Amino acid sequence: MAILKVAKLGHPVLRRVAEPVAPDQIAGSETQRLIDDMFETMSEYGGVGLAATQVHRPVRLLVTEDIPDPDNEGVFLARRSVVLNPEVTFLTNEEVAFFEGCLSIPDFRGRVPRIKRIRLRGLDRDGSKIDREVEGFPAVVYQHEVDHLNGVVFLDRMRDFSTLSYLSEFDRFLAAGAGPVEV
């Protein structure tokens, strides 16, 4: 496995719409190695999600890390996942806003409104179909990563830039009140 170079805001790959992964390529060593390398890269940089475009691969692939429930120790809101050719469908108009960060926009956080409940469809690393409803913070993570695959970054989704801050200032002044907000 390898730690991959993460594209930073301004690199054209972050604004490119990614191409689907052909089902017959999923089991191939190149795709499987990319998945493993993406997990290694995400772990190295402390991310909870990573899209292939962020590591200079314009294909429709994302990975997410285990997402713990902050209110229940040892409980996870979502488990580590791989989604190829993801599709997100909104299941409500209700929004929630979390402070988001991004490995491609390091050292910044900003409150981003997202749809609270989604349906996620795609394929897993074995090529099996994924079709599940996702709510709350995990839904935010999937929307953030699918946005990357569509050439969109979290700054594009912010409605109010007064919450945009450097991570160091976020930790000092905003983190205590950074929980989700119903929009």
61 and 38 Cβ atoms separated by less than 8 Å: yes
Give me the pLDDT at residue 19, please: 98
Catalytic site residue from 65, 87, 145, 182: 145
Give me the pLDDT at residue 68, please: 80
* pTM for this entry: 0.93
Give me the pLDDT at residue 67, please: 84
Give me the pLDDT at residue 13, please: 98
Options 3.90.45.10, 3.40.50.150, 3.30.1600.10, 3.40.50.300; CATH for 12-182 is 3.90.45.10
Number of H helices, E strands in the chain: 4, 11
Q: How far apart are CA 181 and CA 163, in angstroms?
A: 13
Residues in the chain with pLDDT values less than 50: none
pLDDT in tens, 13-25: 999 999 999 999 9
Q: How far apart are CA 19 and CA 175, in angstroms?
A: 36
Of 69, 51, 68, 50, residue with least CA distance to 60 = 51
* Residue 19 annotated as catalytic: no
